[in-house]
Amino acid sequence: MARTPRSKPTATWPIETLMTPGQASAFLGIHSSTLRAWRRAKTGPAYVRHSGRCIRYRLADLIDYHPVGEAA
């Protein structure tokens, strides 16, 4: 019996989605250490600090963020 191919699942993320620094850096196309450096320099996209060292980025903030020198 032949199997019918399944379509790939489509992820529809709500704009309120919180992303890990690894996910956020992949979304922006940068290295995760760049995000860390931006946090220390108090630049870059806004982030949320949960308890302790748990840092998350809102998808809406990443979409709104435009690094200096790039076209908006």
Q: Report pLDDT for 44.
A: 92
Q: What is the pLDDT of residues 25-44, one digit of tens each?
A: 998 889 999 999 999 999 99
DSSP code string of 9-48? PPP---TT-EE-HHHHHHHHTS-HHHHHHHHHTT-SS--E
Q: Taking the model in full, what pTM does it have? A: 0.70
Q: Two tokens at 18?
A: 């919180």
Cβ neighbours for 13, distance < 8 A, ≥ 6 positions apart = 59
Provide the CA 10 distance to its chain's centre, in angstroms: 18
| 42, 57, 59, 71 from 37: Cα distances, Å | 8, 15, 19, 22
Q: Report pLDDT for 65.
A: 86
Q: Two tokens at 1?
A: 């019996």
Per-residue pLDDT of the chain (72 residues; tens, 9 = 90+): 566 665 554 456 676 789 999 999 998 889 999 999 999 999 999 999 887 889 999 988 988 886 655 554
